[in-house]
Amino acid sequence: MNPLNAQTTRYRDCIYCGQDTGSEEHLFPASLGGRLTHKGVSCGACNNSFFDIIQALATQFAVINGMLGVRSDHTPKRKGPRPAEGDSALGKITVDAKGKPSLVGPRLKKKEALSNGNVQATTSFGSMKAYQKWLEEKRASGIVPIKSKKVGEFDVFVPEAQFCVGFGGSKMLRATALIALNFLAFKWPKLARTGELQNFKCYVKGKLLLKQGEPRSVWFAPTNAPSMPPAKTQFGHQVLIVADPAGSYARVRFFSTFDLCVDFGRLPTDEVEAFLFDINPLEDSPQKNVIQTSPLEYPARLLPPSTDDVSGHVELLRSRRLDLQEKIEAKWWTSNTEGLLDALNSTSSHKMVERTLAIIELLRPHRGYVLWLGRAGVRLLRESAQDEATQFLADCVEELFAPELNEDDGLSELARGTMEEGLFLLASAIARKLEEGPLTDHQLRLFLTGTDGVHVIMTEVLPFVQEHLKKAYLLRQIYPHTSRHEHDEEIP
Ligand SMILES: [Zn+2]
């Protein structure tokens, strides 16, 4: 039993309808990484009636959950977090907590008729689950694959993917009110059962219709709103509840980024008291998942906006989301390049040539970043293109990295050659930089994802690609039916 639960064990009537409370309910939504449960807020029927608003909230944060690796408390630990799902030109794509993308659907890679009348096909899958499903479908249709082998997904090539994220709407706001009320009932069970909260509860249940201009109980905190105390964890949620005779209120912050204000109105309380709950969605044990404190400083009450004016909201939410995305990418960087910086710096005893070779080997597992740089380079090239020829070059480079479905890493031979060249040039640039002294993490990051790397790509790799493309396109004009693979063979 959680020690936090001890103080309220005697309240067993639903705060909404007075019936006996149901089973243990999550105070913070399980789908957003809430682990702490409590039996003293709502009955089973009332709790079930909140399913759709909690679901709406979960859907809005599903992509962020996936990118961060937040496991829903309803998903068994062994299954792990559900990756973020997006769309690409090649179909559904997922991205896990390390930023590693995988294509979901099965893809036929090779098919040939054998002399004995059988057909040999190679198909790749994004996951074992997708493979099992495909196997069942094949068996149901009477085809029995006789031999199968697990094949790795593309580890380098990733098509551009789109992830849809949208926030807001009345269900999301009501879900936020529900969370605030859960914590109020948890800390002040008596207060949560007073008649003054009747309207607020109707709002949570969706039974309160607001008239034009009537203040809402929940709204997105404006940019200049006094901020919450710093979160205990980088991507933590926070719930602040304040009992105040002048007006009780709450603040709810999702993923240290999205701030909402909740107004409970005037409740029968004599003194000011506040509790802050820090929820770490990446922490599995309920005890460590929630840290409760009595903050000395916290934002004062804000009065609800009296109009439904939402102008500026889109911009506000957009900039918050971009901030969060940047933090998530920083997290991916750290988890993907662990040990790389030390290894690069410790090549100092090598001579220049050996050093470059050693650096190439160290960078090899990070080829994905080289591809990333290549794309950034193409974008830059396209933006700065003043003439048709440069525009054409940008088109060609983009086509160069079109997915090659028959290859394990999704790269055509020419693209792979370009990647190797990029890797080599980047390694040489890093080796030159290392001559001046050890690299910092910031410098390494600039090399592999930012300005330094793009500079190398633009000034050294692009001319190389241009030369090769000239030959390839020249040959294609002469032999339009030959494949790109054959072009390479014919280049002297
Ligand atoms: Zn009830």
Q: What pLDDT, on the 0 to 100 scale, is given for residue 346?
A: 92
Q: What is the pLDDT of residue 148?
A: 58
Tell whether 453 and 353 lie within a shared domain: yes
The confidence score (pLDDT) of residue 32 equals: 96
Whether 28 and 109 map to the same domain: the answer is: no
Are residue 129 and residue 229 in the same domain, yes or no? no
218 and 148: one domain?
A: no
CA dist., res. 142 & res. 140, Å (int) = 5
Does residue 367 form part of some domain?
A: yes
459 assigned to some structural domain: yes
Ligand 1 centroid–CA 302 distance in Å is 30
Span from the CA of 292 to the centroid of ligand 1 (angstroms) = 27
Among candidate residues 159, 187, 219, the one where a domain is terminated: 159
**How far does the centroid of ligand 1 lie from the alpha carbon of residue 20, in Å?**
8
- Ligand 1 center to residue 17 CA distance, Å? 4
The alpha carbon of 195 and the centre of ligand 1 are apart by a number of angstroms equal to: 15
Contact 241, 278 (CB under 8 A): no
Domain count, the chain: 3
DSSP state of 457: I
CA distance 427 to 189: 62
The CA 253 to ligand 1 mean position distance, Å, reads 26
Calpha distance 333→310 (Å, rounded): 35
Contact call for residues 453 and 459 (beta carbons, < 8 A) = no
E strand intervals along 160-257:
161-162, 218-220, 237-243, 248-254
User: Do 391 and 430 fall within a single domain?
Assistant: yes
b/e 226-263 (16+ beta carbons within 10 angstroms → b): eebbebeeebbbbbbbbbbeeebbbbbbbbbbbbbbbb
Task: Answer yes or no: do 388 and 258 share one domain.
Answer: no
- Asked if residue 99 and residue 22 are part of one domain, the reply reads no
Q: Is residue 71 part of a domain?
A: no
Does 173 lie in the same domain as 30?
Answer: yes
Same domain, 269 and 414: no
Q: CB of 280 within 8 A of CB of 232? A: yes
What is the pLDDT at residue 120?
Answer: 77
- The CA distance from 401 to 392, in Å, is 15
Residue 57 and residue 109 share a domain: no
In a shared domain, residues 427 and 470: yes
- The three-state secondary structure class of 450 is coil
**Coil, helix or strand at residue 244:** coil
With beta carbons less than 8 A apart as the criterion, state whether 300 and 263 touch.
Answer: no
Residue 78 belongs to some domain of the structure: no
pLDDT of residue 182: 96
Tell how far the Cα of 21 is from the centroid of ligand 1, in angstroms: 7
Compute the distance from residue 35 Cα to the ligand 1 centre, in Å. 22
Name the DSSP letter for residue 20: B
State the Cα–Cα distance between residues 191 and 200, nearest whole angstrom. 13
Kindly give the distance from the C-alpha atom of residue 43 to the centroid of ligand 1, in angstroms, as a whole number: 4
CA of 27 to the centre of ligand 1 (A): 15
Does residue 73 lie in a domain region? no
| Owning domain of residue 27 | 3-64+166-293
CB atoms within 10 A of CB 343: 13
Q: Which of 133, 159, 185 is the last residue of a domain?
A: 159
Q: How far is the CA of 262 from the centre of ligand 1 (A)?
A: 22
Ligand 1 centroid to Cα of residue 7, in Å, is: 21
Residues 28 and 57 in one domain: yes
Q: What is the pLDDT of residue 176?
A: 97
**Could you tell me the mean pLDDT of each successive run of 10 residues in the chain, 492 residues long?**
46 90 90 92 92 95 95 90 88 88 75 80 69 82 68 66 86 96 94 93 87 79 87 95 96 94 94 96 91 94 75 81 92 91 90 91 90 88 84 84 76 86 92 92 92 90 81 56 38 34
Q: Tell me if 230 is assigned to some domain.
A: yes
Q: What is the pLDDT of residue 140?
A: 87
Q: What are phi and psi of 196, to 5 degrees?
A: -60, -20
Dist. CA 18 → ligand 1 center (Å): 6
pLDDT computed for residue 138 by the predictor: 82
User: What is the CA(330)–ligand 1 centre distance, in A?
Assistant: 44
CA of 22 to the centre of ligand 1 (A): 9
User: Helices in 243-366 by DSSP H: which ranges?
Assistant: 286-289, 313-336, 340-345, 352-363
Q: Let me know if residue 279 belongs to a domain.
A: yes
Residues with CB under 5 A from ligand 1 (ion): 14, 16-17, 19, 43, 46
**pLDDT score, position 476:** 55
